[in-house]
């Protein structure tokens, strides 16, 4: 087996998850935490090596056989894994975000460490499976598996640091976290039903029209499938992916999940899980159903604009820091969707680039929110003030990451936002997409309103006496914020590192 291969990349987190759940593994908090960070560092370095040695003309590809046969041979279902340029970028982002989440867990997770880190690795395994699967049913398997660890990570009992508001009891908060986790499961399961229906229809009609009994991505074509059936399949798939993206009105699970989840889990939810929805739209609708996607693209562009506008106003009205960031994430996912709707190379490159830049930004913003809550036991911007006076290093990072989030030049989001507008303006699909691009450009200013409101109210003002003894950033927190900021600056100054890779 080649030392750089998909099975090692994919199954390492799964093996570590099983190992951590094993009763034979020690329950010592320090050992568990250090072991987890070591594995995450190794996995990230391994992923970067795969990225560095990636050859677009000979992409990583593996098919796993069971007793010499395909996974479900009678139905043409294979355990087929493949990584192209886009999935390679997203796998690298996934490995990085989970590493940052593992590092930030030191002060945010106070109990049930073995189970927590086990679920974290299992979630990473499921997400990597989504990005590497090259068979529709295998993709769906990983998509469903993702729900299991996400449910426990959102609704689990990880200690008092995962509480949401300081003036209510721990029991009430744990109950609220469970409700948010159940809401996430119900929304995802609702979308999965439509998604499975779309996959089954696509599998059947591809066999009926082309005589190919296969669910491999490479064997699916929409050319001979009736247009009405294509639209039905595309709509079913979009509902499934729209829940995870999320597209309004399928978004209401996200703010609650972020509010009740501990900081590292919020980093993973916003930084990675939302990207699985956009990736699904690209892989299924954009690639396998291009004819129907061209018909639906103008409607999706309108929904993307609604995502940008509506959630920006809702975010401005929030007072909880986490809810501000959660709604801003939905707004940014609207930009990613708009880039895909352009159906051209510029729009696609912009969409993937924004997945990376937004993943880094939300990772940093949720880390800042978590640090503030750890120190002050409060996330309400109306009661927080003077944070800059007692935590100058946190303030410095917050200023730079917030500036990056609103699209200031020299940071990665500026490049992706401009490219998205350019890609949509150059779309040849419909005038509607061009108009959506024109309308979204001035509305991007709204992001500066709610993010600068958070910065002004949370960090400035007279410091409360009870905050004077608060410590500034720890080493772990500094590493996470410095890594995120470094990525935002590097990709902002040298965007061709990603854009050139996508174009291979």
Q: CB count, 10 Å around CB of 253?
A: 22
Classify 343 in phi/psi space as left (phi over 0), alpha (psi -120 to 50) or beta: left
3-state helix, strand, coil in the chain (%, to 5): 75, 5, 20
Cβ(273)–Cβ(146) below 8 Å: yes
How far is the C-alpha of 348 from the C-alpha of 360, rounded, in Å? 19
Cβ(87)–Cβ(131) below 8 Å: yes
Which of the four pLDDT bands, split at 50, 70 and 90, describes residue 170?
very low
Between 446 and 94, the more confident residue is 94
User: Quick one: average pLDDT of 152-169?
Assistant: 61
How far is the C-alpha of 331 from the C-alpha of 315, rounded, in Å? 9
Maximum Cα–Cα distance across the chain: 75
294-303 tens-digit pLDDT: 999 999 999 9
409-440 tens-digit pLDDT: 999 999 999 999 999 999 888 888 888 888 88
The answer to whether residue 461 scores a pLDDT higher than 80 is no
How far is the C-alpha of 236 from the C-alpha of 249, rounded, in Å? 15
Cβ(114)–Cβ(269) below 8 Å: no
How far is the C-alpha of 33 from the C-alpha of 36, rounded, in Å? 5
pLDDT of residue 164: 40
Which of the four pLDDT bands, split at 50, 70 and 90, describes residue 218?
confident
How far is the C-alpha of 110 from the C-alpha of 71, rounded, in Å? 41
pLDDT of residue 160: 55
Rg from Cα positions in the chain = 22
Which of the four pLDDT bands, split at 50, 70 and 90, describes residue 450?
confident
Secondary structure (DSSP) of 348-366:
HHHHHHHHHHHHHHHHHHH
Cβ(227)–Cβ(292) below 8 Å: yes
End-to-end CA distance of the chain: 26
The answer to whether residue 473 scores a pLDDT higher than 80 is yes
Which of the four pLDDT bands, split at 50, 70 and 90, describes residue 192?
very high
For residue 66, the cross-strand partners are 69
Q: What is the DSSP letter of 71?
A: T
What sign does the dihedral 401-364-240-140 (CA atoms) show?
positive
Residue 457: partners with Cβ closer than 8 Å, 6 or more residues away:
381, 382, 384, 385
54-68 tens-digit pLDDT: 988 888 999 888 877
The answer to whether residue 169 scores a pLDDT higher than 70 is no
Above pLDDT 90, what percent of the chain? 57
Q: Among 252-261, 332-341, 469-478, which range has the highest average pLDDT?
A: 332-341
How far is the C-alpha of 258 from the C-alpha of 447, rounded, in Å? 19
Q: What is the DSSP letter of 462?
A: P
pLDDT of residue 445: 78
The answer to whether residue 167 scores a pLDDT higher than 50 is no
pLDDT of residue 115: 93
Between 308 and 139, the more confident residue is 139
pLDDT of residue 174: 63
The pair of structure tokens assigned to 111 is 């109990």
The answer to whether residue 119 scores a pLDDT higher than 60 is yes
Q: What is the DSSP letter of 310?
A: H
**Mean pLDDT, the chain, as a whole number?**
89
Which of the four pLDDT bands, split at 50, 70 and 90, describes residue 244?
very high
Which residue reads 């909880």 in tokens?
A: 320
The answer to whether residue 172 scores a pLDDT higher than 80 is no
pLDDT of residue 8: 94
The CA distances from residue 412 to 250, 491, 504, in Å, are: 28, 5, 20
Cβ(348)–Cβ(339) below 8 Å: yes
* Cα of 51 vs its chain's centroid, Å: 19
The pair of structure tokens assigned to 301 is 């562009």
The answer to whether residue 467 scores a pLDDT higher than 80 is no
The answer to whether residue 168 scores a pLDDT higher than 60 is no
For residue 64, the cross-strand partners are 79
């Amino acid at each position: 087996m080649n030392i750089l291969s998909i099975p090692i990349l994919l199954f390492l987190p799964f093996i570590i998850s099983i190992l951590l759940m094993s009763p034979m593994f020690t329950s010592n908090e320090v050992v568990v935490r250090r072991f987890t960070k070591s594995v995450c560092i190794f996995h990230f370095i391994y992923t970067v090596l795969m990225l560095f040695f990636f050859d677009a003309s000979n992409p990583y590809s593996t098919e796993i056989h069971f007793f010499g046969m395909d996974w479900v041979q009678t139905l043409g279902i294979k355990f087929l894994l493949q990584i192209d340029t886009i999935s390679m970028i997203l796998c690298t982002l996934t490995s990085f975000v989970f590493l940052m989440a593992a590092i930030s867990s030191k002060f945010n997770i106070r109990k049930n460490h073995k189970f927590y880190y086990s679920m974290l690795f299992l979630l990473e395994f499921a997400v990597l499976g989504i990005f590497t699967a090259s068979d529709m049913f295998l993709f769906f398997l990983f998509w469903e598996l993702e729900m299991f660890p996400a449910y426990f990570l959102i609704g689990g009992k990880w200690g008092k640091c995962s509480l949401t508001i300081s003036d209510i009891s721990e029991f009430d908060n744990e109950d609220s976290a469970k409700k948010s986790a159940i809401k996430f499961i119900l929304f995802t399961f609702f979308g999965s039903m439509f998604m499975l229906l779309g996959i089954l229809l696509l599998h059947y009609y591809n066999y009926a029209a082309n005589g190919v009994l296969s669910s491999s991505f490479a064997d699916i074509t929409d050319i001979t499938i009736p247009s009405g059936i294509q639209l039905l399949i595309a709509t079913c798939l979009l509902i499934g992916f729209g829940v995870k993206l999320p597209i309004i009105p399928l978004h209401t699970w996200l703010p609650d999940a972020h509010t009740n989840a501990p900081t590292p889990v919020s980093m993973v939810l916003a930084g990675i899980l939302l990207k699985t929805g956009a990736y699904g739209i690209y892989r299924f609708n954009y690639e396998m159903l291009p004819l129907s996607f061209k018909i639906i693209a103008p409607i999706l562009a309108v929904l993307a604009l609604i995502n940008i506008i509506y959630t920006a106003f809702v975010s401005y009205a929030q007072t909880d820091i986490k809810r501000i960031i959660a709604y801003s994430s939905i707004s940014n996912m609207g930009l990613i969707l708009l880039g895909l709707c352009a159906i051209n190379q510029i729009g696609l490159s912009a969409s993937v680039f924004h997945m990376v830049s937004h993943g880094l930004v939300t990772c940093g913003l949720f880390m800042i929110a978590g640090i503030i809550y750890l120190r002050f036991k409060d996330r309400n911007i109306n009661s927080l003030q003077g944070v800059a006076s007692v935590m100058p290093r946190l303030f410095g990072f917050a200023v730079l990451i917030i500036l990056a989030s609103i699209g200031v030049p020299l940071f990665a989001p500026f490049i992706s936002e401009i490219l998205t507008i350019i890609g949509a303006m150059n779309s040849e699909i419909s005038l509607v997409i061009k108009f959506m691009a024109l309308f979204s450009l001035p509305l991007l200013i709204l992001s500066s309103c709610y993010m600068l409101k958070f910065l002004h109210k949370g960090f400035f003002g007279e410091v409360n006496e009870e905050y004077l003894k608060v410590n500034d950033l720890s080493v772990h927190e500094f590493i996470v914020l410095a890594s995120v900021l470094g990525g935002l600056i590097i990709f902002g100054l040298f965007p061709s590192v990603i854009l050139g890779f996508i174009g291979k």
